[in-house]
Each structure stands twice: as structure tokens, then as C-alpha cells.
């Protein structure tokens, strides 16, 4: 992903940006989830996760999610107060039942367990059920990276938007997975990807703005490629990357995420945006691999740096300014937004203000008149 | 992959097929590798692996590889007699040094260790260095599947044919990975894929037969998409699936395969087909996850069967006869070829006969006149 893509797609249009500091965004989000009945520590976990995604330009998994999450907590389809529990534990593996708590809370609990086990035995695999939409894979694999470990995670998507290859009905999520690998001088390598050619959010954006979409992004209701964004968005069915290969990966990520832990699969996956009655029973998996059991971490980090340097130093095609490794554009943007504030779309902020009003936690803070930042191109 | 694709691409043209029984092919291959100085057990391992790939229609990783492997053994760039060794071992993880033995031998040793560790602790991660081209990921993950485990493996490709996204020089292999998941009534789910849109073998075939290639398969020497198969094949640089996503995955598979074990990465990876002096120091990784630590295996198998049934039962797009899950077309073809004999291209057999002649192990056996099978469409 280029830095430009990371910063703007499916994020805000550039002339509609307002910058909010990380601290302000965290504090506002905290208060929202506390007002929904969550404990302070759990509200903090969700706020850190969502604002962290926005910092990295992954707006699709940031505060844009708050209205849906709040509605789910208020209807009780997600439990505000449940505690995840370990229901099976043996050596390097475990099953965590999220007890229908927020996915970010469950995911963090499960990855902490995976890290603890890998610290003792070198690696681990934790299967999760009874969870909800957990946010970005990146967040969890970075937890492992901070302990000199490689982190791996995958999850069932919270809405079925991919058909089996050749089919016309979406039976799979755009199931994402992530891998985080520590580096030294460089930012860690953070792969976090779903398995469609284009994110659903890009198709939504095209539908909203009356633009056509490339014909390899999505299908119409008959399973034929379409350039009509409105048709594509109305019953979203994304095209997997590499055709049958992306479908095959989505299927395998689903099995790893749901079947060891007995979470929901296929038609049993309730729609995050449509069903506010039935808990989702989302499944995930978390793995950690402790680098120090293989080689001295400083030496490993140098080797990763050298690998990154090799990619950076490759001769470039005409028109290519820079070569990136996975996670690099996002890390760069996060540094910038940590300093300058996070660029939010005014319409997203207005929606968040509405949530704050309803919960009586107040609107999202804006920069003061003197401190106002007119967003530059990022 | 459709059954038709699996059976013919990049396999033999249909009018040039001769069927050889699995037993005959195994026995001939055994004798070839014994004649190269390998121990009987090791020669058996390689023969089983290669003929297994041919059975499944993965001809690119079957006996077609024999001439190259034999040359590598004869020049001594691969050791015929070395024994892989565990050089670090802690809990659920280990490092195996292949000591430059054949990759199939090293891979099997490492996966057996991964299975043993997972049997005790629930999961494992074995990093490998000092190996060679190891064949198909499918073979190794199936070893785990046979023990009611999920198997995962990845490897550095033995030739750099992918540039970092935006680059013009191949610095990465088309690094494949595999995941195997046990099923019940159905064949196990076996994902085994590289990260390009089209296999290098397909580009080679087009170059040999004077056909153009689709413009999303490969690049010319300037990093521009090309339809000229000869140009594309002359300095092969394949297009990653999903553009930067496939590149990102190839990079991450490379780091997992090579950097924990300190195997060769990037420009240090010697070309399998060009360099007969320097050992390759190929890296792999092997993971196993023991299903029984999560749930009763029969119950897990039923859940996987139900997931497969759900994919099979999806409404199909016009013109689609059947929906497959990963590994299904290959398993079906393997059953068929186990009964009817493996369909080999006459030109491949002629090349193998040449190897047999040089080693004085004789030509590949053909069916007797009475038992001759004229290959039907498979």
C-alpha cells in the first residue's frame, strides 16, 4: 500500500479534514464506552485500539465504528461487562471464550495469553470463541512485536461478503489475518490484510459519490463482475484477490478462526450491521513465536533491518518514488498524526458528536480557534 | 483451482500422455536417487514426495524436477548423504539444520519434529536452515493432517522471481505456503499456493509454444506488464496476486522461513537452475496444531465437513458446474490417477529416460502393449 492510499482510502476526503489530537480522541472515546456501562480498563482498551487504527490511517477500523459498537452495547447484543475466560488450557495452546464481551477486549486477553505461553514454551496458539468484531489484526500482532515476538492473528469477518469461488451468495467474511515481525532501526513489519482486491469501504464510497468501480472489485447479484457501485454495495460480494486463491485463503482463515474454538461459521455468522438481537460468537486465533528461542533478538532485528533495506534499495519502475514493506506507510502516518493530530472527516465527527450527545458525554473536542489546523495533504 | 486446471496446467498436453502406475514411477525414482548415492530411506522419501505431487496433478513439483535434482546431487551442491540435525530445541520450538541434504528429506524430518512437539504441547514451530528445494508444502501439511493435526508450512522459493512492489529486480521467491486441515467424510482441506497470479511454469509453457500471456502475469525487464512470454520468461518476474498484497505476503513468508533460522534471504538465495557450486541454504518453517487439545477430533472433523458442505451447496454462477474447496481437485485427481496410472507427457518421460540411461538405472517403465492405456481427458 502506498502512503497516499494508507492515508486517504477509505478515509476522509482532503477538503473535509479536521485534526483532533490523539489524547482528545482517546479521552472522548473512553467516556463514550464508559457511558455504555463498560469498566474503565475495558473502555480504555477499546479507545486505544480504535484511535490507534485512525492514527495509522486505517479509518475503516477506527472511530467510524463507534456508532455501531454503541448501538450493539445499548441493545445488549454485546455485553459491556463480561469477562473473557480460559475454558481449555494445555501446554502451548488454549481456548478463550469471550463471553460476548467487546472483541477488542477479548482479543487483547487472548493475545496476552498467547504471549505468556510463548514466553515459556517458544510458541503458542490460542483459539477464541464468543467474541465480537475485534478491530485490526495489526493491533494484536504489535502486542507480540513489543515483546520481541512474532505475532500472528486471524479472525472471522463480522459480515459475509465473499462467495466461494464460482458461487453467487456470500458465505464467507473478507477474513483478515495479520503477521507482525520485530525490526531494529526500522518500524516492525506489520502485515494486516483482508482477502478481497478492494476493501468494501471503497465500494461504499464509490456508491455514495456516484462513481463507477473497476470491474474486478465486486459482483452483481448474479455473480457477474459489475462496475455499478450502487448495485455492488446493495448486496456486497467482493472479488477475492488472485481469484480462487483469495477465496481459498478466506476459507482457511475461517476454519482456523472458528472451528477449533467452535465459533460461528458461514451462514451462522450474524451481520454486524443488521442483527442487534443475536450475539455473533465471532472466532479468532492468536499465535506468538518468541524470537529469543531461535536467535539473539538484536541479531534477528538486524537481519530484519537488512531485509527491509534490500527491499528499499531495489531499482524502481518508472514513476515509483519509494518502495515500502508491509506496515511502513501506516507507521509513518501514525508518527505524523501523533504530532499533528489525526485528520478526521467532518461528517464522521458530526456523527460522533451525535453519539456523544445521546450519551451525554459531549461532542468530540475540536482544536481551539487559535490552535486550529487546516489539514494539509498527508 | 478447477479440476481441469489442476490436471493439465502446467502439466502435459492431452495428446501426448502416457500413463505410468504409481508403483512403477516410485520404484524408478527410488532407483535413480539411490544411484546418486542416497540411502534407501532417503531415496524413498524423495520418490514418494515427487510421485505424490504428480498424482495430485502438481506436475511442476513432480518427476519433472528429477533432472535438476540429479545434477545437483552429482555436482555435490546438494549432499546425498547428510543427516539433518536439531541445533536448538526449547519447549514447543526448534531449529533444524538440514546440513544441505535434499529438501524433501529435511522437510520431513522437521515436520516430524513439529508433529511430535505438538503432540505433547498442543502446537509447535520449527524453523529450518541449510535445506534445499523441498517440493510441495502440501506434502508436509498432509503429514500433520494424518495425525489429527493442522499443519502449516512455508518456504523460501529456490529462485528469485518476484520484485518488491514498485521494483524492477526480483529479490523474492514466489514463496509458497500451505495449510492442511483434517476433515471427515471429505478430503482434508489442503491449501498450497504461491503468491503470483500465474505460476512460472505457465509462462514457460507459453514461451515454448509461442503464445502470448495475459498482461497481468509478468513484467518485462523495465518492470512494465508484458504479454510477450519469451521476454517474460527470459528474466522471470511474476506479478504478485492482489498487487502489493501478494508482495507483502511473499516478504513475510520469506522472513518467517529464513530469518529465525538464519537461512539465505533475498540476493543471497542462489538460483536452483543456474548455480551448481554454492549450496542454497534454503529456509522453511513447519507448524503443527493438535486438534485434540481443542475439541474431540471427530467433532472437529464433522464441523469441517459441514463447512465444506456449505461451500459445495452455494448457488452457482452461470457456467459453473461445481464449487471446490482447497485441495479437493487435487485429491480427486490423485484417486483417479492412483487407479488409472499417472498421466505423463511423452517429452517429460523421454527426459527421464535420459537420466535413467546416464545413471544406468534404465528407462521409466511404460505400460505393456496389452496394458497400454490411451489417456482419456482427465
Residue of A nearest to B302 (CA): A259
Where are chain A's structural domains?
Answer: 10-75+341-369, 82-194+242-312, 197-239
Give the domain B3-196+240-304+325-359 fold: Ribosomal Protein S8; Chain: A, domain 1 (3.30.1370)
Residue of B nearest to A94 (CA): B294
B368: CB partners within 8 A, 6+ apart: none
CATH number of A82-194+242-312: 3.30.1370.60
Is the CB of A260 less than 8 angstroms away from the CB of B289? Answer: yes
Chain A residue numbers with beta carbons less than 8 Å from the beta carbon of B88 are 293-294
Mutation site for A-interface testing, chosen from B248, B285, B296 by largest number of A Cβ within 10 Å = B248
Q: What pLDDT digit, counting tens, does each position of B303-319 carry?
A: 999 999 999 999 999 99
The CATH number, out of the four listed (1.10.1530.10, 3.30.420.40, 1.20.140.10, 3.30.930.10), of the domain defined by the range A10-75+341-369 = 1.10.1530.10
Q: What is the pLDDT of residue B3?
A: 37
Residue of B nearest to A127 (CA): B294
C-alpha B212, offset from chain centre: 26
Is the CB of B310 less than 8 angstroms away from the CB of A265? Answer: yes
Distances in Å between the alpha carbon of B91 and those of A168, B34, B127, B167?
A: 46, 36, 13, 41
Cell, residue B137: 508444502
Residue of A nearest to B221 (CA): A317
Q: Sign of the C-alpha dihedral, residues B367, B371, B377, B378?
A: negative
Chain A residue numbers with beta carbons less than 8 Å from the beta carbon of B323 are 164-167
Select the residue of B1, B222, B303 nearest A244 (Cβ to Cβ).
B1
Is the CB of B252 less than 8 angstroms away from the CB of A311? Answer: no
B347 by DSSP, 3-state: which? Answer: helix
**Could you list the pLDDT tens digit for every one of the 378 residues in chain A?**
333 333 334 455 566 789 999 999 999 999 999 999 999 999 999 999 999 999 999 998 999 999 999 999 999 999 999 999 999 999 999 999 999 999 999 999 999 999 999 999 999 999 999 999 999 999 999 999 999 999 999 999 989 999 999 999 999 999 999 999 999 999 999 999 999 998 888 898 888 888 999 999 999 888 899 999 999 999 899 999 999 999 999 999 999 999 999 999 999 999 999 999 999 999 999 999 999 999 999 999 999 999 999 999 999 999 999 999 999 999 999 999 999 999 999 989 999 999 999 999 999 998 754 444 443 333
Per the listing, cell 490460542 goes with A126
Letter string b/e over residues A193-209, b meaning 16 or more CB atoms within 10 A of that residue's CB = bbbbbbbbebbbbbbee
Q: What is the pLDDT of residue A254?
A: 98
Here the ipTM equals: 0.94
Neighbours of B225 (CB within 10 A): 14
Is the CB of B242 less than 8 angstroms away from the CB of A246? Answer: yes
Give the domain B197-239 fold: Wheat Germ Agglutinin (Isolectin 2); domain 1 (3.30.60)
Q: What pLDDT digit, counting tens, does each position of B316-370 carry?
A: 999 999 999 999 999 999 999 999 999 999 989 999 999 999 999 999 998 754 4
Distance from CA of B259 to the nearest CA of A (A): 7
Distance from CA of A38 to the nearest CA of B (A): 30
Distance from CA of B28 to the nearest CA of A (A): 34
Q: What is the pLDDT of residue A371?
A: 46
Amino acid at each position: 500500500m502506498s502512503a497516499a492510499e494508507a492515508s486517504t482510502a477509505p478515509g476522509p476526503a482532503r477538503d473535509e479534514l479536521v485534526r483532533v489530537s490523539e489524547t482528545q480522541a482517546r479521552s472522548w472515546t473512553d467516556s463514550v464506552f464508559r457511558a455504555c456501562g463498560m469498566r474503565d480498563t475495558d473502555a480504555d482498551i477499546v479507545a486505544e485500539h480504535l484511535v490507534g487504527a485512525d492514527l495509522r490511517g486505517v479509518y475503516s477500523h477506527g472511530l467510524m465504528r463507534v456508532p455501531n459498537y454503541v448501538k450493539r452495547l445499548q441493545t445488549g447484543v454485546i455485553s459491556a461487562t463480561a469477562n473473557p475466560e480460559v475454558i481449555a488450557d494445555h501446554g502451548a495452546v488454549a481456548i478463550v471464550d469471550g463471553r460476548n464481551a467487546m472483541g477488542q477486549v477479548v482479543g487483547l486477553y487472548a493475545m496476552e495469553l498467547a504471549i505468556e505461553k510463548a514466553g515459556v514454551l517458544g510458541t503458542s496458539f490460542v483459539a477464541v470463541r464468543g467474541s465480537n468484531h475485534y478491530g485490526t489484526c495489526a493491533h494484536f500482532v504489535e502486542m507480540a512485536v513489543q515483546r520481541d515476538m512474532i505475532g500472528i492473528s486471524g479472525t472471522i469477518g463480522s459480515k459475509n461478503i465473499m462467495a466461494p469461488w464460482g458461487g453467487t451468495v456470500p458465505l464467507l467474511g473478507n477474513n483478515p489475518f495479520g503477521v507482525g515481525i520485530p525490526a531494529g532501526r526500522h518500524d516492525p513489519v506489520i502485515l494486516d490484510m483482508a482477502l478481497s482486491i478492494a476493501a468494501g469501504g471503497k465500494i461504499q464510497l464509490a456508491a455514495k459519490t456516484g462513481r463507477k468501480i473497476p470491474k474486478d472489485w465486486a459482483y452483481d447479484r448474479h455473480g457477474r463482475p459489475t462496475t455499478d457501485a450502487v448495485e455492488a454495495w446493495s448486496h456486497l460480494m467482493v472479488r477475492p484477490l488472485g481469484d480462487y486463491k483469495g477465496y481459498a485463503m478466506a476459507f482457511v482463515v475461517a476454519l482456523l478462526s472458528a472451528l477449533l474454538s467452535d465459533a460461528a461459521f458461514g451462514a451462522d455468522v450474524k451481520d454486524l450491521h443488521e442483527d442487534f438481537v443475536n450475539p455473533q460468537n465471532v472466532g479468532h486465533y492468536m499465535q506468538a513465536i518468541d524470537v529469543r528461542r531461535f536467535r539473539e533478538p538484536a541479531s534477528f532485528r538486524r537481519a530484519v533491518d537488512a531485509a527491509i533495506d534490500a527491499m528499499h534499495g531495489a531499482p524502481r519502475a518508472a514513476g515509483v518514488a519509494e518502495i515500502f514493506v508491509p506496515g511502513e506507510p501506516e507507521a509513518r502516518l501514525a508518527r505524523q498524526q501523533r504530532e499533528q493530530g489525526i485528520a478526521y472527516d467532518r461528517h464522521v465527527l458530526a456523527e460522533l458528536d451525535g453519539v456523544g450527545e445521546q450519551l451525554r458525554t459531549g461532542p468530540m473536542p475540536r482544536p481551539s480557534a487559535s490552535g486550529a489546523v487546516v489539514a494539509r495533504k498527508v
